[in-house]
């Protein structure tokens, strides 16, 4: 899903959802997330769940607050419109550090959690969904904290590695990997 591919229905609710700390994810994604968190902890890194599943109404409220704060043009680069959010699928989790340092900021990539998830999340079926320099493809600014469960460590590793079966370079977004057109803006 992206700015060209909304959920159908737009008010979709995934089932079943499982609790992770104060957040929720689709059950299969939650199990993979818990394994990833345990592995990070074994490496001395404490991943904190910041934002998981969001309902259509919650996303609408968040998006509307960003429009009021920053204007629609900027809001469209930092938050999905309701019905277009990966959080609404139950497959996305924003993560952070227990200290709160660089929460939801680009500098997150240089924190212990940021470095760990960049290197290790694909082994658990997660990718950084909005990579650096890909706003023209994904429509969103770089979000090193936004993890998307793709369901397979093999698939996640391939997307992470930026190479698909054809061997094309610079294929590090879901759009590029699956041969979809870039979705920098919402369709009219």
Q: Which of 23, 86, 143, 176 is catalytic?
A: 143
The CA distance from 42 to 22, in Å, is: 22
Comparing CA positions, the residue from 112, 116, 140 lying closest to residue 126 is 116
* Active-site residue flag, 23: no
3-state secondary structure of 100: coil
The CA distance from 110 to 91, in Å, is: 24
Report the interhelical angle of 112-120 vs 27-42 (nearest 10°).
120
Q: Please enumerate in sequence order all residues whose Cβ is within 8 A of that of 104, keeping only pairs 6 or more positions apart, or say none.
A: 50, 94, 96, 143, 145
At 24, which helix (H) or strand (E)? strand 23-26
End-to-end CA distance of the chain: 16
Residues identified as active-site: 143
């Amino acid at each position: 899903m992206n700015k060209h591919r909304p959920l159908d229905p737009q008010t979709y609710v995934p089932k079943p959802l499982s609790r992770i700390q104060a957040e929720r994810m689709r059950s299969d994604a939650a199990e993979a997330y818990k394994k990833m968190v345990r592995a990070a902890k074994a490496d001395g890194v404490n991943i904190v769940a910041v934002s998981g599943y969001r309902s259509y109404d919650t996303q609408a409220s968040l998006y509307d607050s960003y429009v009021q704060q920053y204007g629609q043009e900027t809001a469209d680069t930092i938050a999905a419109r309701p019905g277009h959010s990966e959080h609404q699928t139950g497959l996305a989790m924003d993560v952070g550090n227990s200290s709160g340092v660089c929460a939801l900021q680009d500098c997150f990539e240089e924190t212990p959690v940021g470095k760990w998830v960049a290197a290790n999340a694909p082994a658990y079926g997660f990718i950084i969904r909005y990579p650096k320099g890909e706003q023209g493809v994904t429509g969103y600014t770089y979000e090193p904290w936004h993890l998307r469960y793709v369901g397979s460590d093999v698939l996640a590793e391939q997307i992470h590695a930026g190479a698909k079966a054809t061997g094309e370079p610079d294929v590090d977004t879901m759009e590029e990997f699956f041969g979809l057109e870039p979705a920098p803006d919402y369709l009219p």
